[in-house]
Structure 1
Amino acid sequence: MGIPDPLLEYRAQFPALEDCVHLISHSLGCVPAKAADDLAEFVELWKTRSITAWSEWLPEVDRAGERIGKIIGAPAG
């Protein structure tokens, strides 16, 4: 028995991995199951709020920028 891999618990979140090994993540990675729900939520907000949805989207853009900045060592802001 090998050493347990803590990353294997995430495998169940990617339905395509039930039947295959995915070795081409550089161009198009496996879609996590939750992505469909998240995308539906985004489209519903866009459909019902149109341009006013930006008031909810912009803080998400800022948070993503801060996270990416930490990864690449950029100053905050």
Structure 2
Amino acid sequence: MRSALHLGAVPGSLHIPGLYLDDSYVLDVIVRPAEVFSLEAVLTPEHSMYHAPEGEEQYCICVGCYGICGAQAGQ
């Protein structure tokens, strides 16, 4: 089962505690007015929304958005 997840915005960071980004997917990118990424993210046990994988799933997966604050074009 996929859950809705709002990751919020983490200033200047690409490391998101509680997520395993290596097997996560970017679904969409919105560049204006801020950079926002729509993700299908793999949650780790440290994340508050983590639950054991269901059925034949290998990971706990949630769909959500991640925003980068203070990003400037060309960086």
What TM-score do the two structures reach when normalised by structure 1? 0.20
| Structure with higher strand content | 2
What TM-score do the two structures reach when normalised by structure 2? 0.20
